[in-house]
Structure 1
Amino acid sequence: MSGRPSRRQLFGYAGATAAGAAVAGGVVALGKDSGTEVVGRGVGPYGEHQPGIAAASPRHAELVAFNLRPGVDKAGLGRLMRLWTGDIVALANGRAAPGDTAPELAIGNVALTTTVGFGPRVFELTGERPPGLDDLPVMRHDRLDPAWSGGDLLIMVGADDPVSVVHAVRRLVADAQPFATPAWRQTGFWNGTGSDGQLVTGRNLFGQVDGTGNPTVGTPEFDTTVWSSDGPDWFRGGTTLVVRRIRLNLDTWDELTRSEQERAIGRKLSTGAPLTGAAEHDELDLEARDADGRLVIAENAHARLSHHSENDGRRIFRKGLNYVQDTGPTRESGLIFLSHQADIAAQFLPLLARLDAADALNEWTTTIGSAVFALPPGFQPGTWLAQNLLT
């Protein structure tokens, strides 16, 4: 590839290996569920898997997709991954990244995670493409905008502190400059903490408890759902990610009665419990009928159509980020839908087709962005992200 690295990027080349072997001071422990390293109140950068994948949706997040510059080859991509690895290690440990021009903004104990993914076109350079990694077909209800779709690379930065997210993204984008240019950027937020300070599932802007049916992190069910055990050796312990930007029509949703909203979802808005149960995690009774003989959970209810029992046992690990985007006096509101699974074609695509065909929520939702990425496994001190693919 052409172009000379800047002084800051030269610092990055020199510092990536050293940063990869460093660990911040403080208490270091292994997270009991996700296998991620916990440093103080932060999340360490090392592990079998990229730590942000199994973590709960962050309070604040930004996703940036990139397109590779012409002429960037496998070796160039490897140089970028070494740079990003140095950045990720430093920022996760509350230290300035190599060559950071605003080192005071690097702080610890904000639960900062950085997740990196590769779009399908990367594997035209590298080979060893994970199974099922293809751009999704356009669904009947999609209204995709290229401004929110596709991409060769992805970074997703999340933290409790929005300033830390902005700073980390700025550093990663700066280091990517000789290799790739931003294609789209999406920012979102999520509240996974209840009024009592305990962790909760979180709600989307419809007011719906969102993500109840997820497999539990750390269980065999989670592992088989999310982590790849097939395909190229470099991808073992990795996963795939689907990003769908879904616009919500809050105005027409608000015109419904509460019971109409709940019937479209198949769950109670108050607790997230299925209409056939009392608590959020009660099993759905898909055969239950009311006094008039109608199915309590309607045939087109979102909870029914997305349930694993209605999809030949297929599961995904879904997360979400709410977003709002103001353009002059108007506001667009929606959900950045994030789905992790070992194989997109085998797990996610059949579910998506089923929902597109009949989901009651299609009347109030429109997908305007879509992208897919392969997320490599994690790395250990002295190594770097996707090293087994890029060497």
Structure 2
Amino acid sequence: MPRADRRPSRRTFLDVTGTMVAAGLTAGCTSDSAQPGRNAPSAAGTPTPMPVPATGRHQAGITLPQPPQPNLLAVVADLGATADAGPLLDELGRTIRALTAGDDPRLLGLPPGDLTVTVGVGPRLVRTAGASLPGATDLPRFSRERIAAEARGGDLLLQICAGNALLLSVAAAALLDQAGDRVRERWRQSARRGTNVPFGGGLAAQRNTLGFIDGIVGPHTTAEQERDLWLAGPPAVAGGTLAVLRRMELDLPRFAALSVAEQEAVFGRHRTSGVPLSGGTVASTPELGAKTADGRYLVPAKAHVRRANPTVVGTGLMLRRSYNTDEPAPGLLFISFQNALRTFTATLTHMDAADALLEFTTTTASATFLILPGFDRQHPLGSGLFG
């Protein structure tokens, strides 16, 4: 519930209101078409997003809803030296329940719709609960990084997603108001998904800033998610997962100067359809051994789908969520979820050696977080680790 002893400053109110106005000017351009089981028509005929339960075994905003909401705001913050993570997370969980139910006056009258808030804690906080726990390891540094100190790492992640872009800043302001001076914001990034492209089984991937379908491969079945996505233990983290955030600037002019065939060779897929260059359907596994009559690989040696292929790398699957960004520069906010950090680090290490796609990217922010298990009224957010 709202903190009675803290009121948003006039500057905070103006910042949020200005963001709402700006979002309102662009919301009509955001793709959020009705999906089966996702939206219900309102009396006026406008699709109304269905609510997403905030409580359960897993936090919302990872596998639910499907497809993901088109708008995202990621806020990364640090806890103060004297702040106690347990009570803070409990309060944030209560606030999330109130926001998603439409019961928090700090929503300023906006209906919550399909709003989700996903909370993660960084390696420093995880280590205070146990140095050997999943999520206690910091991300290593990689090539093609230009990351300021404030944009590397962090103690707390708030991933806020919604069909209505107006909700992002309003929900973030409410959560940060609840946290008060116990947290200090490091950086934030708003982003959006491109047009959804169905690829079978009720699944859809988005088309990214470079024009290609992004997020086809991943742990989509329940069995794959239990194997590669969700943490099975220890009990304090069971039902959670590990997230990696990487904000990347893209060299769009240089990529756009390539021919379509050259662009497709970078990805290893056809740009329009998403079908692998080795053939099949968009959902087909690329045949990395397939060759032309003169002995050339159909999927080039430096193609992204080859360098990031989990079988080639020797890792499990990662659930990838890529969002397109305009500020501070055109690019992507890449978010992956996996139950072993090595799934990401080994993949990027393999890509670093020869992936043609990385030649057009510069990473400007990077962090990893333990996404806490799901919660409810009887089991507060984070109580398994910090209770």
Fold similarity call, TM over 0.5: yes
CA-to-partner distance for each residue in 1:93-115, whole Å, 9 max, x for gaps?
2222xxx445413x13x211000
User: TM-score with structure 2 length normalisation?
Assistant: 0.83
Instruction: Give the 5 Å matches for 1:210-249.
Output: 210-216=214-220, 218-230=221-233, 232-249=234-251
Structure 1 residue 50 corresponds to structure 2 residue 46: no
Contact preservation (8 Å) 1:66, 1:153: yes
The equivalent position to 2:145 in structure 1, one of 142, 145, 152, is 142
In the TM superposition, residue 284 of structure 1 has moved relative to its aligned partner by 0.9
- Determine whether 1:341 maps to 2:338: yes
- Cα distance in 2 for partners of 1:268, 1:103 equals 45
For residues 322 and 122 of structure 1, what CA distance do their matches in structure 2 show? 29
Q: Superposition RMSD on alpha carbons, in Å?
A: 2.3
**8 Å CA contact 2:196, 2:207 repeated in 1:** no
Once the two structures are superposed, residues 86-131 of structure 1 have per-residue CA deviations (whole angstroms, 9 ceiling, x without a partner) of: 11111112222xxx445413x13x2110000000111343336523
Match of 1:306 in 2: 308
Contact 1:318 1:337 in 2 (8 A): yes
Match of 1:295 in 2: 297
The equivalent of 2:360 in structure 1 is 364
Deviations 1:10-35 (A, max 9, x none): xxxxxxxxxxxxxxxxxxxxx99xxx
Map 1:1-391 to 2 at 5 A. 7-8=5-6, 41-55=50-64, 56-72=67-83, 76-96=84-104, 100-101=105-106, 103-105=108-110, 107-108=111-112, 110-127=113-130, 129-131=132-134, 133-193=136-196, 200-216=204-220, 218-230=221-233, 232-325=234-327, 332-344=329-341, 346-391=342-387
Indicate how the Cα distance of structure 1 residues 171 and 127 shifts in structure 2: closer, same or farther if over 3 A, else same: same
- Residue 181 (structure 1) shift: 1.0
TM-superposed CA distance for 1:387, in Å, is 1.1
Percentage identity across paired residues of the two chains:
32
Residue 205 of structure 2 aligns to a residue whose secondary structure is coil
SS in 1 for 2:98: helix
Code of the residue aligned with 1:365 in structure 2: it is T
Q: Secondary structure at the match of 1:269?
A: coil
Please give the alpha-carbon distance, in whole angstroms, between the structure 2 residues aligned to 1:274 and 1:257. Answer: 17
CA contact (8 A) 1:148 1:245 kept: no
Aligned mates of 2:358, 2:90 — CA distance in 1: 42
Distance 1:378 1:129, change over 3 A: farther
Please say if residues 42 and 92 of structure 1, whose CA atoms lie closer than 8 Å, have aligned partners that are also in contact: yes
Contact 1:215 1:317 in 2 (8 A): yes
CA distance in 2, matches of 1:77, 1:6: 20
Change (3 A) 1:135 1:128: closer
Q: Which consecutive aligned stretches of 4+ in structure 1 deviate over 4 angstroms post-superposition?
A: none
- Paired AA for residue 162 in structure 1: A
Contact 2:310-2:347 at 8 Å conserved across structures: no
CA distance 1:169–1:129, change in 2 (3 Å) = farther
CA displacement at 1:146 relative to structure 2: 2.5
Amino acid at match of 1:104: G
Matched-pair contact (CA < 8 Å) for 1:133–1:343: no
2-side partners of 1:177 and 1:143: how far apart? 31
Q: When the two structures are superposed, what TM-score results if normalisation uses the length of structure 1? A: 0.82
1:6 is displaced (CA, Å) by: 5.1
- Cα 1:102–1:94 change in 2 (3 A) is closer
Q: Distance in 2 between matches of 1:249 and 1:193?
A: 23
What letter corresponds to residue 336 of structure 2 in structure 1?
S
How many angstroms does 1:200 deviate by?
2.8
Q: CA deviation at 1:40?
A: 7.9
Query: 2: CA distance between counterparts of 1:45 and 1:189?
Result: 21
C-alpha separation between the residues in 2 aligned to 1:389 and 1:372?
17
Counterpart-to-counterpart distance in 2, 1:313 and 1:164: 37
Deviates more, 1:198-207 or 1:350-359: 198-207
Cα distance in 1, alignment partners of residues 288 and 126 from structure 2: 42
Q: CA deviation at 1:163?
A: 1.0
Letter in 2 for 1:223: E
Q: Give how far 1:57 is off.
A: 3.5
Q: Is the 8 A contact 1:234 1:389 kept in 2?
A: yes
Report the alpha carbon displacement of residue 314 of structure 1 after superposing the two structures with TM: 2.6
How many residue pairs get matched? 343
Q: Please say if residues 152 and 366 of structure 2, whose CA atoms lie closer than 8 Å, have aligned partners that are also in contact.
A: yes
Q: How far 1:42 sits from its partner (Å)?
A: 1.0
* Equivalent-residue separation in structure 1 for 2:208 and 2:253 (angstroms): 15
Residue 28 of structure 1 is matched in structure 2 by none
Q: Aligned partners of 1:381 and 1:311: how far apart in 2? A: 41
- 1:82/1:8 CA distance change after superposition, 3 Å: farther
Per the TM alignment, residue 199 of structure 1 is displaced from its structure 2 partner at its CA by 6.1
5+ residue gaps, structure 1, are 10-30, 33-38, 327-331
